[in-house]
Amino acid sequence: MSRTEINFDGIVGPSHNYAGLSLGNIASASHAGDASYPRAAALQGVAKMRGNLARLGVQGYLLPLPRPNIALQAALALDGSEPAQLRAAPWSASSMWTANAATVSPAPDTADGRCHLTPANLVTMLHRAQEWPDTKRQLDIAFGDTRHFVIHDAVPPSFGDEGAANHMRLCDSHDAPGVEVFVYGRTGGRFPARQHEQASRLVARAHGLDPASTVFIEQNPAAIEAGAFHNDVVAVANGRVLFTHAEAFADQQGAYDTIRAAYPALEIVEVPSSAVTLQEAIRTYLFNAQLVTLPDSTMALIVPEECRESSAVWGWCEAMLEGNGPIRQVIPVDVRQSMANGGGPACLRLRMVCDPATVDPRFLLDEARADLIERTIAAHWPEQIDPSDVGTQSLATSVIAARLALLDALDLAQLG
């Protein structure tokens, strides 16, 4: 078996809009009420996937969920008198951010030697809490080989779980046993702490992780208050490297010590607040980046274009590259439509360590499928959605038809 890391990106759905539904997400709130461009957003996402396919040799994807969610519309008893944000919730395309699709523990880490996935319940936000049953339907198909995968139900809704966006893994190589790091928040601040400690601990137990190789760290409340609603807005790990802002954790040095006790080979690349403020890191999503291992065993950091446009962030990146650290390239990508709604390159992907041969091939990208997806998007995705369009029958007809066209094109009509 040849295990490798595969990034499964979410294809941006045809209902992509800016309704400002995510409390604590500064970008989402600041663009609420703007016109959105679903076609451009989806094509930006495919371009990002193409780039990673070329760099890494393997790339996956997950499909948009059914929107509008007719069951949620009925449950909300919508009659036109409700707030616009409530009316917009069943239309949300937030499943594009597959870092929140599930928490993944690769086979080398688990007691039964299978890869375990737990869909995130996302209960803190209404527009996201609707996702997990449909997400699980996809995971059950994509990773349906029960010899290699276990798909759990979501954590009970008493505990908020936001998936891999609050989970990191450190390892000597992707196919070697690793140390899994779960980052949680404390309630009581300006914005809700979306990842509950007990949700993280429940997932770790369900996945059969070794307690000696499992670490639980508290996120810095100040980071949550500044807009780091998930840990992956202020920290990301890959291989032996933890790339983090100096204000990511409630007890920064204590977090380092705890992780290093479980994983002595830890290499820390810390960005000091004096170089990049917490606010600038969140605005540019420097840490909501893909930290990947290239075929030559060096690491690259795939960041949003907004990082290159910030003198502080780009200056720090250039200084880092002049040194002899583990990150040898910084590669900007254009995901502006996603960024405006609060999700950078890391939000758009779910990391899996597995043998590609064990995955349903309909969820793996190649150049022909990328061409097919692009043609379908160009032909069917709305070019623009204005706030007044959300909730209309004409948009519903267009969005439903667009998604079904993509499912048909990819031979996944069973998800219709």
- Of the candidates 162, 247, 280, 306, the residue annotated as catalytic is 162
Residue whose entry in the numeric block shows the structure tokens 């980046």: 289
**How many other CB atoms sit within 10 Å of the CB of residue 219?**
26
CA distance 416 to 414: 5
**CA dihedral sign of residues 267, 273, 276, 280:** positive
3 state SS of 198: helix
Q: Which two tokens stand for residue 148?
A: 């290699």
Residue type, position 21, single letter: L
Cis peptide before 68 (omega within 30 of 0): yes
CA distance 410 to 81: 39
Nearest Cα to Cα of residue 62 among 120, 19, 110: 120
User: Any bridge partners for residue 214, and if so which?
Assistant: 180
3 state SS of 207: coil
Does the annotation mark 167 as catalytic? no
Nearest Cα to Cα of residue 43 among 405, 404, 338: 338
- Of the candidates 115, 171, 317, 347, the residue annotated as catalytic is 347
Nearest Cα to Cα of residue 362 among 61, 65, 3, 115: 61
Beta-sheet strands, E only, within 131-228: 149-151, 167-171, 178-184, 214-218
Does the annotation mark 354 as catalytic? no
Nearest Cα to Cα of residue 104 among 67, 51, 142: 142
Q: Which two tokens stand for residue 103?
A: 């928490």
- Of the candidates 230, 247, 306, 354, the residue annotated as catalytic is 230
| Residues designated catalytic | 162, 230, 347
